[in-house]
Structure 1
Amino acid sequence: MATARTANPTSVMGLNKPANGQLKGQPKPANLQSIPSAAAQQPAGPQKGSSIPQSSGGIKFGDDWKKCLQLPPKDTRMKTSDVTSTKGNEFEDYCLKRELLMGIFEMGWEKPSPVQEESIPIALSGRDILARAKNGTGKSGAYLIPLLERIDLKKDHIQVHVIIATPGRILDLVKKGVAKVDKTQMMVMDEADKLLSQDFVILIEEIISFLPKDRQILLYSATFPVSVQKFMAKHLKKPYEINLMEELTLKGITQYYAYVTERQKVHCLNTLFSRLQINQSIIFCNSTQRVELLAKKITQLGYSCFYIHAKMMQEYRNRVFHDFRNGLCRNLVCTDLFTRGIDIQAVNVVINFDFPKSAETYLHRIGRSGRFGHLGLAINLITSEDRFNLKGIEEQLVTDIKPIPSSIDKSLYVAEFHSVDPDDDGGDGEAKQKELGAA
């Protein structure tokens, strides 16, 4: 994919707004850690020349197939019990195809997470599933692995979730006869709470009407509203229910709030940038206009910044996401477009520049850090108008959002493999610490 990059502005007053959402400010010395290589950030996929065979005939009986694997660097970061509290199962216990197992290991996946342990064998049996698990604990693998296992490459028709699209687009393809789903075995709904909301449920039910009666339906989400019960009763057959949500927020995410006025927000954000050991950060605003204004302001402060929102052309959104995921920029300002299904391992800090209105949105926002049991930091800038909403979200999520301290312990959100200088205070000394505490 081609990469469009905006040159560093020579004068912040003359900064023009690019259409592609990629703003880059002048380099500014700060106590910000360099972004590690992609191999260290996240599990790497198979490289060119990978040893994965194209068919099972490529592996002879008795071969030690594990010797052929091209494994990515081992992830040595600490993981929380969200993903380590397992029954001790191995991926090999599920009798998966050899090619699929090789792909799993070459992606850097070592052992199944709790939701994968619960889901994979049930999904392979053909039973309907309703699974509730936290963001970032492996839900995608919980349905993708059995989905790929059940696909028969010899059959030339749509079998499962090989079509990945929005409900409206799928329904359009089905009605036009482009997507023939009369032999489809499985239908998977990730982020099912959103898909079964009033905006989409009618489309979903119409899609289901084209499927065979003996199809399998799998629902996955972190939150399930009451409306899901009605859908379950109508369309699912004795679903196997998985609930791994004793608590809603990820154990590895530390949450803080800072009381500020609206005019103090940018100053507080600048202080956070100078004080925190940021690998990559995602900064949320409540409107597209505020996203663009804040992104421009961040570049004027001298920090690299991209932005993304729903009013941008899809081509530009794809490019911004691709470049940010590949570590070409440290900070991304966005709307709630970026709250679901986004897995970027390098993100260790999420900042709610504008506090969200609902507990559900808050949960999905902060879940962009601390992925798959790793550590992350969530900081909320709270105005006087937000204080009651803050209390309500704490109560609904049964979580504790603490006042921000004058100095934040780096061990709460910095991965072990990062090189951290404990004596480096960013050159700001006690003055910056007092500013952060006062904010």
Structure 2
Amino acid sequence: MATARTESVGPVVMGLNKQNGQLRGQTKPAPASPAPTTQGKTLGAPQKAGGGPQDGGGIKFGDDWKKSLKLPPKDNRVKTSDVTATKGNEFEDYCLKRELLMGIFEMGWEKPSPIQEESIPIALSGRDILARAKNGTGKSGAYLIPLLERIDLKKDHIQVHVVIATPGRILDLIKKGVAKVDRVQMMVMDEADKLLSQDFVVLIEDIISFLAKNRQILLYSATFPISVQKFMAKHLQKPYEINLMEELTLKGITQFYAYVTERQKVHCLNTLFSRLQINQSIIFCNSTQRVELLAKKITQLGYSCFYIHAKMMQEYRNRVFHDFRNGLCRNLVCTDLFTRGIDIQAVNVVINFDFPKNAETYLHRIGRSGRFGHLGLAINLITSEDRFNLKAIEDQLVTDIKPIPSSIDKSLYVAEFHSDSEKWMIQTQI
């Protein structure tokens, strides 16, 4: 169950257009260097869809089907143990459909991550799952792979209720008979802590009442409050529990804070832009008004900037997200609308221009960098009013947010690539 749409919605509209969230100043020149990449794809270049079985010329029994795969460039960036501490399983160990395996490999996925190793075989068995794993460690693949494996293309009815909508809208479609879910065998709740919060849990329980009695429920999240435990006891049958959260923050993310006054924040941000090697950055504010004001300031400083928040029309949000993900802009200013379920491999710096109020929000924000075991940097601008929240969040997450040094070691957040023919560092500037 997802709550964000990310498809392309048309041509890029550039310029100082306040309505569509895309502000572009005069980009400061950067030295010639290799283009930054996102999971093996050139940042800013059109992404071509990988070839599937339909354009592979057909696979015959006995063929070496892997030879027909159209694989993306190998991603040899250093990865942390968040995704490398596996049991050594392969995707082929799970007896998946050939077409599904081809799609997995052509996405550039080579081996299952720890959460995928734990989750995929259990989900395929039909058992309920309650899984905790860090943001950016492969939770989506952990449920999407068994979901796609279990779908029977010969059956003409909803089997897994894959919907892009709010829970209220889904329930409305069910009650009107538009979405017939009485034969749904599998229900997945990603970001389950949010879906089972006080705002949505009644709607979710109402939706479940329309499903088949022997349905399978899979819950995935980085954080599980008490409300999830109550839901589990009521609706899950002997769930298999997975907990890969011995520590809450990703190992590849280095966290710093800069102690500033409110009036110094923009100047501090400008200094960070000039000194850091930012591939792409996400900058968080605590209100929609501050998002737009900050995006305008960044543009006036001469840096390209997009912004996104919940009060924008969905069409414009889709366009901004799509263009940012494809590398058309270095910096994105946003609210907490952008903290969950967003996977952009090129983001290596997250800046909390406004410090969040609670540990859960902080965890999801900084998790936008350092995706899938890669390196990332989280920088927090702290005013005197934020110092108590800073200490509380450090304690709750059992993490260490250090004072920002005068010079930040690039090896902490700039990825080093190795290939057969070259070894190079991303050396992009804003």
Q: TM-score range by the shorter chain?
A: over 0.9
After superposition, residues 92-241 of structure 1 pair within 5 angstroms as: 92-241=92-241
Instruction: Tell me if structure 2 keeps the 8 A contact 1:277–1:414.
Output: yes
CA distance in 2: counterparts of 1:32 and 1:387, whole angstroms: 41
* Unmatched tracts of structure 1, length 5 or more: 8-15, 427-439
| Cα deviation digits, residues 370-411 of structure 1 (max 9, x gap) | 000000000000000000100000000000000000000000
CA distance in 2: counterparts of 1:244 and 1:343, whole angstroms: 19
Deviation at 1:3, TM superposition (A): 2.6
TM-score normalized by structure 1? 0.90
Distance change >3 Å, CA 259–CA 49, structure 1 → 2: closer
Q: Secondary structure at the match of 2:324?
A: helix
Of residues 157-166 and 342-351 in structure 1, the stretch that sits farther from structure 2 once superposed is 157-166
| Cα deviation digits, residues 401-424 of structure 1 (max 9, x gap) | 0000000000000011284489x9
Q: CA RMSD in A?
A: 2.3
CA distance in 2: counterparts of 1:34 and 1:348, whole angstroms: 16
| Cα deviation digits, residues 106-137 of structure 1 (max 9, x gap) | 00000000000000000000000000000000
CA distance in 2: counterparts of 1:164 and 1:2, whole angstroms: 19
| Cα deviation digits, residues 177-203 of structure 1 (max 9, x gap) | 111000000000000000000000000
Structure 2 counterpart of 1:10: none
Structure 1 counterpart of 2:12: 4
| Cα deviation digits, residues 3-62 of structure 1 (max 9, x gap) | 33323xxxxxxxx6520000001122468987524563599999558241399x943210
Distance change >3 Å, CA 247–CA 45, structure 1 → 2: farther
1:362 paired to 2:350:
no
Instruction: Tell me if structure 2 keeps the 8 A contact 1:32–1:276.
Output: no
Runs of 4+ in 1 over 3 A off after TM superposition: 29-35, 41-49, 418-422
Instruction: Tell me if structure 1 keeps the 8 A contact 2:39–2:345.
Output: no
CA distance in 1: counterparts of 2:376 and 2:114, whole angstroms: 20
* Amino acid across the alignment from 2:53: I
| Cα deviation digits, residues 34-92 of structure 1 (max 9, x gap) | 7524563599999558241399x943210110000000000010000000000000000
CA distance in 1: counterparts of 2:267 and 2:51, whole angstroms: 49
After superposition, residues 17-416 of structure 1 pair within 5 angstroms as: 18-29=18-29, 36-38=36-38, 40=40, 47=48, 50-53=51-54, 58-416=58-416
Of residues 409-418 and 237-246 in structure 1, the stretch that sits farther from structure 2 once superposed is 409-418
Instruction: Tell me if structure 1 keeps the 8 A contact 2:50–2:71.
Output: no
Between Structure 1 and Structure 2, how many residues are aligned?
A: 415
CA distance in 2: counterparts of 1:94 and 1:421, whole angstroms: 36
Instruction: Tell me if structure 2 keeps the 8 A contact 1:22–1:305.
Output: yes
Report sequence identity in percent. Answer: 85
CA distance in 1: counterparts of 2:12 and 2:54, whole angstroms: 35
Instruction: Tell me if structure 2 keeps the 8 A contact 1:32–1:277.
Output: no
CA distance in 1: counterparts of 2:311 and 2:424, whole angstroms: 39
Instruction: Tell me if structure 2 keeps the 8 A contact 1:28–1:303.
Output: yes
Q: Secondary structure at the match of 1:219?
A: strand
CA distance in 1: counterparts of 2:39 and 2:255, whole angstroms: 28
* Unmatched tracts of structure 2, length 5 or more: 1-8, 418-422
Instruction: Tell me if structure 2 keeps the 8 A contact 1:53–1:99.
Output: no
Deviation at 1:168, TM superposition (A): 1.2
CA distance in 2: counterparts of 1:32 and 1:230, whole angstroms: 56
* Amino acid across the alignment from 2:51: S
Structure 1 counterpart of 2:5: none
Distance change >3 Å, CA 364–CA 104, structure 1 → 2: same
